[in-house]
Structure 1
């Protein structure tokens, strides 16, 4: 197992540990996980190719599902406003 996959596995373990903290720490922890996870994802893709990069992306999305859901809602908000105006 190369260094990028070890870092990705450590990221998942840290994410699981942070999920067990009280709720007031969840959003700051999510921001930190995103900031650290994006370079790790690029590193995994660079060392192992796009298939394992997509697997790592799917793992990250499953861990950070609520921030992704809120981001999707935030991105859809302008589209819904346009539909109401028409």
Structure 2
């Protein structure tokens, strides 16, 4: 197993542990931190293992951080329909 996949697995484990801890802001600060750390890991996975593994890790990350993805989709839809 490559270092990038180990880092991605550790990111997923950390994300799940952070989701179990109660939060006053509905985990948004943690989600922003996970996104900031996860994007370079995603790039590293894609660089080291190819685009299919990159897409698999992207899908796993999107399933963990589903509400930021939902809100991004809603915002994009609102911007596209307005313009």
What is the TM-score when the length of structure 1 is the normalising length?
0.89
SS of residue paired to 1:23: coil
Residue pairs, 1:22-41, within 5 angstroms? 22-24=22-24, 26-41=27-42
How many residues are treated as equivalent by the alignment? 82
Deviations 1:20-71 (A, max 9, x none): 1113251000000000000000000000001111100000000000000011
Provide structure 1 residue ranges, at least 5 long, that are not aligned to the other structure. Answer: none
CA distance in 2 between partners of 1:53 and 1:81 (Å)? 33
What is the TM-score when the length of structure 2 is the normalising length?
0.92
Paired residue for 1:9? 9
CA distance in 2 between partners of 1:29 and 1:9 (Å)? 17
Greater helix share, structure number: 1
**Which one has the largest radius of gyration?**
1
Deviation at 1:80, TM superposition (A): 3.4
Structure with more contact order per residue of length (Cα contacts < 8 Å, sep ≥ 6): 2
Provide structure 2 residue ranges, at least 5 long, that are not aligned to the other structure. Answer: none
SS of residue paired to 1:22: coil
